[in-house]
Chains A and B, each alone.
Chain A
Amino acid sequence: MNFGKQLKEGLITNNPVLVQVLGMCSTMAITTSIMNGLGMGVSVLIILTASNVVISAIRKIVPDKIRIAMFIVVIAGFVTCVDLLLQAFVPAIAESLGVFIPLIVVNCIILGRAESFSYKNGIAASFVDGICQGIGYTLVLLAMCFIRELLGAGTLAGFRIIPEQFPIGVLTLPVGGFLVLGCLIAAMQWALSRNKK
């Protein structure tokens, strides 16, 4: 187990959004304000870490044939817990994220990590993997939110930075999400290929 290497993978070389291109739906839909991005990122980080640990712990008793069903049950359980806890203790975030919290169940980052990492590795490594991949996801969300909220709405975490008449409104719409995400992925790939040479 190598924490530094796993962190580097999660953040850069195997970033869940920009390199594995997983979890597009939530990345596109909720990155319109910093608070949304933070709420979603932290929720996914917690669920991913918890489900990674549990799946790694039960990996030896799970029959191969029904592993996906088992993963989904475990993930859905954690997602529902987080959903209920958010509704009970931070209703403002639960409301603005709406249906995207329950939809974390089908977020492919979590199922992807279960299948490709925690089903094959030990508990400690899976725990670290969950945290690193979760941080990678959260940072990309925050970058998207930063660009879309600042340029699209002219605010940051609700505070007005750019006067109301100047922001590029289209960036807060779905099409703006595609544009920003496309540019980020392109920049990431360029940086990675440049590094290789």
Chain B
Amino acid sequence: MSNEVKTKEKVNMDPKYIAKLAVTLLVTCVVVAGLLGFVNKLTLPNITAANEKKTAEAIQKVLPELEGSPVAMELTEDMTAAASGAGATVTEAYEAQAGGSTIGYALKIVASGSQGNIEMMVGVDTEGAVSGVSIVKNSETSGIGSKVMTNQPTAKGVGVLDQFEGKTAADAPLNVGTNVDAISGATVSSKGVTTGVNAALAVAGVIG
């Protein structure tokens, strides 16, 4: 081995040598950064399109009556405050229209699950009732928390995500155990989704 660690190695303080090290590293980084910029430029349109398509599909799922493409709304301070008051974060908001009038809002909410953040799209209609919940991104435990993410039925036979449909701000705060059923063994994941729905209701309350 030529690269063994020597404990009492003499440090070479020659300025020329140090400059050579710095320049070599700098040049490498510049070349790599340039290459990455090129790849990024090449792939960016596709990545943006894929993300937009995914968002549109999630919105369509929670507000099935949607016609045309949803309109992105600007997040106001009231909306973010309402979400964080309910223990989650709102990252995107969309207004969905059909037949020329607003039919509801789709809110992208991030709440914490058992293995990190759960990103979900929650649809709330103009009456203030939840029209659907769809999970966009999660890292819940496969086989346990993932049951919540894929809308498996609870002990009562209703899909764990479907049970939120029709809930309004009057039912809030929704709580696992009182008016929400958890999937057994996946209480933390169920609670995460519930927190997200509470936040969505709070945000919708500020909008409407």
Contact = CB atoms under 8 A, between A and B. Distances in A.
Given A70-B28, A88-B46, A173 B21 contact: no
A70 B28 CA distance: 7
Contacts of A88: 42-44, 46-47, 50
Interface string B31-66: 010011001101110110010001000000000000
A74 B142 contact: no
Nearest to B53: A91
Chain A: interface residue count, which band?
20 to 34
Given A64-B3, A73-B32, A89 B21 contact: no
A169 interface: yes
Given A62-B24, A66-B21, A73-B29, A84 B47 contact: yes
B19 to A, nearest CB: 11
A85 B139 contact: no
A173 B25 contact: no
Given A64-B3, A98-B139, A172-B143, A85 B39 contact: yes
Contact of A84 (B3, B20, B43, B144): B43
A87 interface: yes
Contact of A85 (B3, B43, B142): B43
B28 A74 contact: yes
Contacts of B142: 32, 172-173
Interface in B138-181: 139, 141-144
Contact of A70 (B24, B47, B139): B24
A152 B146 CA distance: 14
A77 interface: yes
A87 B47 contact: yes
Chain B: interface residue count, which band?
20 to 34
Contacts of B29: 73
Contacts of B50: 87-88, 91
Contacts of A74: 28, 32
A32 B36 CA distance: 31
B113 to A, nearest CB: 14
A84 B143 contact: no
A53 to B, nearest CB: 14
Nearest to A77: B32
A1 interface: no
Contacts of B32: 73-74, 76-77
Contacts of B24: 61-63, 66, 70
Contacts of A191: none
Nearest to B45: A88
A95 B36 CA distance: 21
Interface in A148-163: 152-153
B3 A87 contact: no
A89 B137 CA distance: 18
A114 to B, nearest CB: 12
Contacts of B25: 66, 69-70, 73
Nearest to A115: B3
A96 to B, nearest CB: 10
Contacts of A77: 32, 35-36
A98 B137 CA distance: 10
* A-B residue pairs, 6 tightest by C-beta: A88-B46, A88-B43, A77-B32, A84-B43, A91-B50, A81-B39
20 contacts: A58-B28, A62-B24, A63-B17, A63-B21, A66-B24, A69-B25, A70-B24, A70-B25, A70-B28, A73-B32, A77-B35, A81-B39, A84-B39, A85-B43, A91-B54, A152-B143, A153-B143, A173-B142, A173-B143, A173-B144
